[in-house]
Structure 1
Amino acid sequence: MSGYGDLPEGWQVWTEDADGGDILVYRPDVFDSHEYPSPCLPTIQVAQRPPTQQKRRAGSNPDGWWVSLTLEPEVRVRDADARFDSRTAAVAGAVDLAERFAAGDVDYRGAYQIPREDYLDELDDRTGREA
């Protein structure tokens, strides 16, 4: 069922549900709650609701699919949010976002008001991004 093909190094499909959405995670072997707090697992979500809407409302008629990137539950990289007309297009958008993230082309530092410097430094090292 997976439409994710070859994800860039470090990314993996955590859950996949064609009706409810998918979750991709980055380096769960590194960001595993031992050295970093457990919420510090970069996550891409593919869902039939905007990232600002917590749950799908009963009887709602979703208008497309959304892709979002979070570094922690309350830290969303808003510049990465995107809307797509179909699940297939959203999956392709999620793969593109994962590729840009892995290449260091996503400004995740800008999502923080109070940064976790050790965590962000580790992400910089893993993605080759310069702070």
Structure 2
Amino acid sequence: MTVTHAPDPPTGWHLWNEESDGRVILLYRPDIFSEDQDLPPECIPTLLISNGSRANRPGASQLTTDTWHAALTLEPDIDLRIQAFNTRQRAIEGGYALAQSFHAGEFDFRDPYQVPREAYFTRLDSVLQTTE
């Protein structure tokens, strides 16, 4: 498979990794997710574009499928949005649209949490209301 490079990421997002198999990982504002900023590094919003299996079992993500996914996570095991696509290019386009919507504050990021983290939510709200 010949993989074309992913375009520049949307505002606020940074290309963390682009692998030869087509997988792309974007991180949201890695400059501010640190203990010093009251935003735990493990909570950095991440966009993963991959055709790995989404099955919930050890090693499943190493298995490739015909379906590409754009998964926007708020931290490990906290999925905000997951969308499926039939090609890598469409997954990148759809994933980048998710990233833009997140940066614009269009998602209720509180909804996926079973246990509210109000101090974190307030701080993340303030980040989404400012520009780089």
- The bucket for the TM-score relative to the shorter chain is 0.7 to 0.9
Contact kept? 1:20, 1:47, Cα under 8 Å: yes
Q: 2: CA distance between counterparts of 1:30 and 1:57? A: 29
Q: What's the CA shift for 1:33?
A: 4.1
What one-letter code is carried by the residue in structure 1 that aligns with 2:95? A
3-state SS, counterpart of residue 63 of structure 1: strand
2:13–2:27 Cα contact (<8 Å) kept: yes
Q: 1:38 Cα shift?
A: 2.6
Are positions 1:46 and 2:55 aligned together? no
Pair 1:72-2:75 in alignment: yes
TM-score by length of 1: 0.81
What's the secondary structure of 2:52's corresponding residue?
Answer: coil
Mapped partners of 2:109, 2:52: distance in 1: 22
How many pairs are equivalent?
125
> Residues 25 and 44 of structure 1 are in contact (CA less than 8 Å); yes or no, is this contact kept in structure 2?
yes
Letter of the 2:34 partner, please give it. D
Displacement of 1:18: 4.2
The one-letter amino acid of 1:47's match is S
Q: Which runs of 5+ in 1 are unaligned?
A: none
- 1:114 paired residue number: 115
1:31 to 30, 33, 55: 33
* CA distance in structure 2 between the partners assigned to 1:6 and 1:39 by the alignment: 21
* Correspondence 1:19 to 2:37: no
Deviates more, 1:27-36 or 1:92-101: 27-36
Give the stretch that moved more between structures: 22-31 or 12-21.
Answer: 12-21
The residue identity in structure 2 corresponding to 1:111 is: P
Paired residue type of 2:48: Q
Q: Give the Å deviation of 1:2.
A: 3.0
By percentage of residues, which structure has more strand? 2
**How does the TM-score come out when normalised to structure 2?**
0.81
Q: Distance in 1 between matches of 2:104 and 2:64?
A: 36
Letter in 1 for 2:76: P
Judged with a 3 Å threshold, the aligned counterparts in structure 2 of structure 1 residues 123 and 62 are, in CA distance, closer, same or farther, namely same
- Gap regions ≥5 residues in structure 2: none
Structure 2 counterpart of 1:93: 94
Give the RMSD, CA atoms, in angstroms.
2.3
Deviation at 1:61, TM superposition (A): 5.3
